[in-house]
Structure 1
Amino acid sequence: MKVLLTGGAGFIGSHIADHLLAAGHDVTIIDNLSSGRLSNMPEGVKFHEMDIRSDDVAELWAQEKFDTMVHFAAQINVRSSVEDPKNDADINIIGILNLLEAGRRHGLKRVVFAGSGGAAFDDNVPFPTPETQPALPMSQYGIAKITSEHYLRMYRAAYGINYTVMRIGNAYGPRQNPHGEAGVFAIFSVKMLAGETPAINGTGLQTRDYVFCEDLARLCVLALENMNDRIYHAGTSRETNVVELYETIRKEVGADIEAEFQPAKAGEVMRSCLDCSRAKEELGWEAQVMLEEGVAKTVDFFRRRKDNPDAR
């Protein structure tokens, strides 16, 4: 397949690039490098520094005739979406519309979209939460992601563009961005390795379904090979609270640092855990990397990056 990968210089996107290349696909990345890094990308991809909202997207598509899009570029910070919802909607809604419009005019046949399982629901749902549960997001970020799902459904009906949505839990792993507030694994790891004190928002008893980046990359390739206009939850179906996560990372780092507790942030749910049985039944996928192994790999990466800023 001739794949346009958006956000491929970023955390999850760069791992997807690795797996797409390994599967034999022709991969072109567009990324505005607002949070991505050139060093994250593997050799063998084509790269254009480009914003997904740019008119240049249509020109590139007209030249390259991509038949496939893997869309992972996004504004990913729930708290930022609450503070600046217009910016969130501009990137996460206008961005996908710009891509879909360019694609439908120039041969786009299939899309894999990075949705959000962690932000799709409120706390009044069954846990683990299945795809059949009606979405009720509690943040502007979550609303934008669900809105994008509706656009994909509409473009399938109107233009015949197939799609798969990966509703991702809380992703973590090597290459995660430790800056800002959207990557707790990276933030905790980097701060502890530097001897600094990380902050926990709220009680720390809020739970998340943490899923390792390599597992998500495997699911993405399976989704491309089994395109079926479906939504798949992508997690481990296990809940871990933030205090438990903090202690697991602290043990791996070997740090003796107590966390600092801060007030809870607006827009965040108390629990999140995804039922991922549909992906197992229909695609043969399930998460393979459990928390302790994933923490070890993540901490090892940030240790290496201390010595080599371009480590992959």
Structure 2
Amino acid sequence: MRPPGSARVVDRRTGARQSSLACVEPVSPTAPHRVLVTGGAGFIGVHTVNRLAAEGLEILVIDDGRHASGERLPPAVRLETVDLNGAGAAEIVVRFRPEAIIHLAAQGGVSRSVRDPAGDALVNVVATVALLRASVDAGCRRFIFASSGGAIYGRAPRLPTPENTTPAPLSPYGAAKLAAEGYLGMFARTFGLSTLALRYSNVYGPYQDGTGEAGVVAITCDRLLSGRPPEIRGDGQQTRDFVFVGDVADANWRALQASARGAINVGTGVATTVQTIVEELARIAAYQGAISFVDGRPGEVRDTALQTGRAAKLLNWSARTPVRDGLTQTFTSFRERAGRAPAPASRGPAAAEAREGHGSRAGSE
């Protein structure tokens, strides 16, 4: 079921060059049992670790703790609190000797990457390269990388966008993810490491940080629950491919079982306007006030949606959670964690002035 205001977007070919990306049929390899998950205490990480733990895997999480979700990891999961760029991280990887690695740790904000491109590259490129090197030293067979479909493709000539579209990132964040994918390919060719980049669309769901700059769903939930009116960056008609985090965790699990290499989109193929998302959350929260519009941010892509046929073929995966259901689950989770019902937001001029002074955290990323 599609949410109101969403539609299957049409092909918008402009004749732009496209790169070739071979379609690799999966085989039935011996599934890995010892798995290292970086960023495993974070938003996507916790859901992924829970999914893997339910399958009985031996799991080590490496997380620096700066973006931890606050949720407890399963008791059998080991946690090492360390920065991937810090001393000792590589030694931890080699000592654990994982059969597979799911690399989720990242600096995830487009706006932050525009302000500090070098800092973004340090986390999203340098740390990834160091982890790739450590994975080879540890005898790891499989390396799955959390990439970004929305940020890598840029102003894609075709929506939903297939994996063989020539990347044209508009932000340092997207450029860093693309650079990291290049290193994945090099390590595959040179060292025989089986690598796969999962190009996520806009992931949302329970445990996401609602106080940061990225993640319009989480930010809107946080504002509604803290008595602040929701905000929309830009005109609200920009579209995103919103995919529920539980579906993404399942894609991560399936990627461990498959032998597919290269890049695979992980999304729904459905474009939904940001305004539709915010209005639906306001309806769920029984919010009757106004929604404010503020300026957009540089580096953001106007429209994104990902073609997902490759995921269906190679991972036997497709997103199963309708956006409306996912938004309801997400808001309910935020409300339960907050321990209170939604507070009514003030609608007067004083509230508007306070919002301008506070600085918006809403975004279309």
TM-score normalised over the length of structure 2: 0.82
2:280 to 244, 248, 256: 248
Query: Larger relative CO (CA 8 A, sep 6+): 1 or 2?
Result: 2
What is the CA–CA distance in structure 1 between the aligned matches of 2:148 and 2:62, rounded to whole Å?
A: 21
Query: Contact 1:40–1:175 at 8 Å: present in 2 too?
Result: no
Q: Which residue of 1 aligns with 2:155?
A: 123
What is the CA–CA distance in structure 1 between the aligned matches of 2:170 and 2:280, rounded to whole Å?
A: 28
Q: Which residue of 2 aligns with 1:208?
A: 240
Query: Contact 2:234–2:294 at 8 Å: present in 1 too?
Result: yes
**Structure 2 letter corresponding to 1:83:** R
Quote the offset at 1:102 in angstroms: 1.3
Q: Which residue of 2 aligns with 1:190?
A: 222
Q: Which residue of 1 aligns with 2:292?
A: 260
**Structure 2 letter corresponding to 1:225:** Q
Deviations 1:90-145 (CA, angstroms, capped at 9, x unpaired): 00001101111111112111111100001012224200000011111110000000
Query: Contact 1:14–1:42 at 8 Å: present in 2 too?
Result: no
Query: Contact 2:240–2:272 at 8 Å: present in 1 too?
Result: yes
Query: Contact 1:10–1:40 at 8 Å: present in 2 too?
Result: no
1:238 to 248, 266, 270: 270
Query: Contact 1:116–1:169 at 8 Å: present in 2 too?
Result: yes
Q: Which residue of 1 aligns with 2:357?
A: none
Larger Rg: 2
What is the CA–CA distance in structure 1 between the aligned matches of 2:83 and 2:131, rounded to whole Å?
A: 10
Quote the offset at 1:40 in angstroms: 4.3
What is the CA–CA distance in structure 2 between the aligned matches of 1:40 and 1:88, rounded to whole Å?
A: 28
Deviations 1:238-261 (CA, angstroms, capped at 9, x unpaired): 011111111111111111122221
Quote the offset at 1:38 in angstroms: 4.6
Quote the offset at 1:8 in angstroms: 0.5
User: 2:49 is paired with a residue of what secondary structure?
Assistant: helix
User: Does 2:97 match 1:42?
Assistant: no
Query: Contact 1:192–1:257 at 8 Å: present in 2 too?
Result: no
Query: Contact 2:241–2:268 at 8 Å: present in 1 too?
Result: yes
The answer for unaligned runs of 5 or more in structure 2 is: 1-32, 341-365
Q: Which residue of 2 aligns with 1:174?
A: 206
**Structure 2 letter corresponding to 1:161:** L
What is the CA–CA distance in structure 2 between the aligned matches of 1:121 and 1:234, rounded to whole Å?
A: 14
**Structure 2 letter corresponding to 1:301:** S
The answer for unaligned runs of 5 or more in structure 1 is: none
Report the identity percentage: 35
Deviations 1:275-302 (CA, angstroms, capped at 9, x unpaired): 0011112221100001000001000100
Q: Which residue of 2 aligns with 1:291?
A: 323
2:41 to 9, 32, 36: 9
Q: Which residue of 2 aligns with 1:70?
A: 102
User: 2:35 is paired with a residue of what secondary structure?
Assistant: strand
User: 1:119 is paired with a residue of what secondary structure?
Assistant: helix
User: Does 2:73 match 1:33?
Assistant: no
Query: Contact 2:156–2:165 at 8 Å: present in 1 too?
Result: no
Question: CA 1:7–1:128 in 2, change beyond 3 Å: closer, same or farther?
Answer: same
Quote the offset at 1:89 in angstroms: 0.2
